Amino acid sequence: MEQGREGSQRSVDPEALLPLTPAMFQIMLSLADGERHGYSILREVEWHTGGAVKLGPTTLYRSIRQMLAAGLIEEAEERPDPALDDERRRYYRLTSFGRQVALAEMRRLERLVAMARATSLGGQAGGLGFSAPGAPGMGGGE
């Protein structure tokens, strides 16, 4: 597997990997508070987006593979509770480089929203914020 690449990514500018795909960004957000296995990531993304984003297994693992290769996430070596858990499950967590990239993506999105708010469209959106365009289906809005 693509592990232990974090060191080789330190010289890479996090902004160079932007923009992230919506699926990747959602996966990173779901891993912000700790490690998770694949199904847990799917459920967290669905919950976090109020059901607007439903990732499918292929999108999930295609993204995971790319993120492992880029050093954004890594496999966790220790399992939260080996006695209660399926040993075939793999757990993933954000690397510190992944955190930097996620923060850079957040800043990019903030700039984008600020720019949109400055237009006449922003006036129409009012103070209620934008309703995010839905990404129905399992494609994860990619």
Sites of contact with other proteins (CB under 8 A)? 1, 38-39, 42, 54-62, 64-65, 86, 88-90, 137-139
With a CB cutoff of 8 Å and minimum separation 6, the contacts of 83 are none
Closer CB to other proteins, 94 or 135, in the complex? 135
Q: What is the smallest separation between the CB atom of 24 and other proteins, expressed in angstroms? A: 13
Q: What is the smallest separation between the CB atom of 139 and other proteins, expressed in angstroms? A: 6
Closer CB to other proteins, 43 or 99, in the complex? 43
Q: Per the structure block, which two tokens stand in for 90?
A: 């793999």
**Contact predicate 97/31, CB 8 Å:** no
Closer CB to other proteins, 33 or 88, in the complex? 88
Q: Report the Cα–Cα distance between both ends of the chain, in Å, rounded.
A: 25
Instruction: Say how many residues make up the chain.
Output: 142
Q: What is the smallest separation between the CB atom of 15 and other proteins, expressed in angstroms? A: 22
Decide: helix, strand or coil at residue 75.
strand
Q: Which residue(s) pair with 139 in the sheet?
A: 55
Closer CB to other proteins, 39 or 130, in the complex? 39
Q: What is the smallest separation between the CB atom of 136 and other proteins, expressed in angstroms? A: 8
Which element (helix H / strand E) includes 66? helix 57-70
